[in-house]
Structure 1
Amino acid sequence: MSWTDNAKVVGFVSAFGAATLMGFVGFFARHINAQGDVIAFSRMMFGAILFFFILMRLGRLSDLKKYKLSPSMIASGFFMGTCLSAYVAATQHTSIANAVFFIYVGPIISSLLAIIFLKEPLKPITLFAISAVFVGMLLIVGLVKFTPGGIEVGISFSKETFFGDMLALASGVGYGLFLFFGRYRTDVPGDVRSFWNFVFAVGGICMLFIFTNPSVAQMTATDWVWWIAIGIVCGFGALSLCTIATRNLLAVEFACVSYWECVVASIIGILIFNEPLSMAQSIGGLLIILGGVSEMGLGLVNNLKNRHKAKVVTP
């Protein structure tokens, strides 16, 4: 990667921004007394509404007709909505560790699909990065712990949590498919693509409402304020940046950066909720940071070397 490639710079910056804002999901969700799909609906609805008004303000509503819909655009939005809704629902029926593990299999799935079907390359530095961030995720969410007797693996399954585990698995597969289908139709502008993503995500969540039958009767005025806030910050903000990132990065490149969300969530837990951080979690966070910036750092180094060589050969 050359850092003279503006698309790559935009992609990495957008990916880090998206992962940062996604890390605030838990912070907002803790202040909302509602089911997970109700919270997910806010994130999708506000994204669709705000992008509609942005396009209208810019006089570009005609672009919604100019760029024809395709199956990949519909699928990307549908899986975006259903995977996030399934994830939050999974946290109510299984352990948080299991839910996080399964949804973060998603970036690995998208990377494999992109390598197989889109023929995206897998460079050694990228393989190192994706391995580092995945191991870091296992450490930071507590699935792997250091004990006096050795290493303890915390993931567990039982009949009681089977339904929640299947929801979590569905969220991971959905997340991977969302990222994979996001690699298609890179000709569509980011704001147009984001609008359709949010629209079809809303449709996917509404289909789930048929089975979950959610209620908002228990929500207070304070709950609604937080519900609106998560829609704007973690919906409109995070997921629109995610759409921009998937247009400009290879699937595996985005996957490496997406795990930064785990670090942000941990920092919020420490600073706001006074949650402890173990040595294993600290190492996990460092691995995620190392993996997330390794490819960017290598690209910067190579760019500086190329500039230096160019100066040397210039008479």
Structure 2
Amino acid sequence: MALSIDAPTRVQDSHRLSARPVAPRTNRRLGVVAIVASATAMGAAGLFGRLATPADAVIGEALTLGRMLVGALGMLVLLTVSRHLGQLRRARLSWSVVLGGVFLGISLATYLSATVLIDLSLAVVLHYIGPALATLLARVMLKERITHPDLLSLAASFLGMMLAAGLVGGAPSPASDQQTLGVVLGVVSGVFYGAALLCYRYRSDMPADVRSFWNFTFGTVATGAMVALARPDLSGMTPTHWVWAGGFFLVCGLLALGLLVVAGKHLRAAELSGLSYWEVVVAMMIGAAAFGESVSLLAVLGAGLIVVGAVLPLLSGRPR
């Protein structure tokens, strides 16, 4: 199947070249529900990842490979049941579809490794450099308009993240090789996550289930290459670890990432970014409840700012 050069989707009149481009129909409410559900499931990735990882092991690449592979197989089953395999064969692949899956696979593998090395709240904050980066790139590359509520949303969410992670007003974490590696992996995950979100803004003509299948497929290729290079040691995996890994593949893979693609079809980058920050709040609450990570008053304030930032883009009408 040949790859084509991407451009934002446009439907043109085949008879009149001068006809005005028609944007694909979107469902904002569906997009909001999809991204909130996706962010909630994604916020649980640190919980599943830690409980699926043996002590003193870093196997983020292997777990993410399973996450992507199960997602691809799951979407293939759904396409078969819904009789959409014909759409899969007819869909035109393009570089944004390929790179969207590759970037997401790299991002999630490095993020999962970061959650084992540093606090969940800090790992997820570094990962969420991505949505802010995607919003800025969408403004430059796709000419998406950023409204005043959008800017306020990004500012509130970013400040909220800094407070929630203890990067503002909190005690500095002790420096160590593990801490440094975790921070580096977290930043890398954020950059690649932003690149993946930007790719989702292209080719919105492709059905969500078809796009999800290719997303998982090319994510599998990327993480498979990472596993081949890193060669993670899985010898310490017990049956309990594998049970948690299976839950991780389904909840944080097939469910969360499939819904992320749906949201990317129906929301602008600023709306997608603001609402996706809900994952930071979920990860912070899980870190406190399951692993005893401290939650200060400033962190609670930060969580409140993230919620405010998520709502602000929805208060303004969709830019024309």
Shorter-chain TM band: 0.7 to 0.9
Q: Which runs of 5+ in 2 are unaligned?
A: 1-24
Structure 2: distance between partners of 1:70 and 1:156: 45
Structure 2: distance between partners of 1:124 and 1:55: 40
Summarize the alignment of residues 132-151 of structure 1 with structure 2, pairs less than 5 Å apart: 132-145=156-169
For 2:146, the equivalent position in structure 1 comes to: 122
Give secondary structure in 1 for the equivalent of 2:112: helix
The superposition leaves residues 251-272 of structure 1 with CA deviations (integer Å, 9 ceiling, x where unpaired) of 1211111110111122233444
For 1:63, the equivalent position in structure 2 comes to: 87
The superposition leaves residues 37-95 of structure 1 with CA deviations (integer Å, 9 ceiling, x where unpaired) of 12212221111111000001111111111111111100000001011111223345566
Q: Residue 32 of structure 2: which of 12, 24, 33 is its match? A: 12
Query: Residues 127 and 164 of structure 1: is their aligned pair in 2 closer, same or farther, counting only changes over 3 Å?
Result: same
Structure 2: distance between partners of 1:292 and 1:155: 28
Structure 2: distance between partners of 1:264 and 1:103: 14
Check whether the contact 2:42–2:252 (CA below 8 A) recurs between aligned residues: yes
Check whether the contact 2:122–2:165 (CA below 8 A) recurs between aligned residues: no
Give secondary structure in 2 for the equivalent of 1:30: helix
Deviates further, 216-225 or 187-196: 216-225
Structure 2: distance between partners of 1:229 and 1:50: 14
Cα displacement (A) at 1:296: 2.1
Give secondary structure in 1 for the equivalent of 2:27: helix
Structure 2: distance between partners of 1:162 and 1:265: 20
For 2:256, the equivalent position in structure 1 comes to: 238
Query: Residues 30 and 166 of structure 1: is their aligned pair in 2 closer, same or farther, counting only changes over 3 Å?
Result: closer
For 2:186, the equivalent position in structure 1 comes to: 168
Structure 2: distance between partners of 1:225 and 1:98: 26
Give secondary structure in 2 for the equivalent of 1:144: coil
Structure 2: distance between partners of 1:240 and 1:78: 15
Give secondary structure in 2 for the equivalent of 1:62: helix
Question: Could you list the runs of 4 or more consecutive aligned residues of structure 1 that deviate by over 3 angstroms after TM superposition?
Answer: 90-101, 152-166, 269-276, 297-300
Please tell me the residue identity of whatever aligns with 2:136: L
Deviates further, 27-36 or 74-83: 27-36
Q: Residue 30 of structure 1: which of 40, 43, 50 is its match? A: 50
For 2:78, the equivalent position in structure 1 comes to: 54
Check whether the contact 1:75–1:181 (CA below 8 A) recurs between aligned residues: yes
Cα displacement (A) at 1:162: 5.1
Q: Residue 64 of structure 2: which of 40, 65, 80 is its match? A: 40
Question: Does 1:262 pair with 2:286?
Answer: no
Check whether the contact 1:144–1:154 (CA below 8 A) recurs between aligned residues: no
Please tell me the residue identity of whatever aligns with 1:18: S
Cα displacement (A) at 1:7: 1.1
Structure 2: distance between partners of 1:91 and 1:272: 13
Please tell me the residue identity of whatever aligns with 1:119: K
The CA RMSD measured in Å over matched residues stands at: 2.3
The superposition leaves residues 109-159 of structure 1 with CA deviations (integer Å, 9 ceiling, x where unpaired) of 1111100010000000110011101111111121112xxxxxx57489787
Summarize the alignment of residues 1-315 of structure 1 with structure 2, pairs less than 5 Å apart: 7-34=27-54, 35-92=59-116, 99-145=123-169, 154=172, 163-299=181-317
TM-score of the pair, normalised by structure 2: 0.83
TM-score of the pair, normalised by structure 1: 0.85
Query: Residues 181 and 295 of structure 1: is their aligned pair in 2 closer, same or farther, counting only changes over 3 Å?
Result: same
Check whether the contact 1:97–1:155 (CA below 8 A) recurs between aligned residues: no
Please tell me the residue identity of whatever aligns with 1:192: V
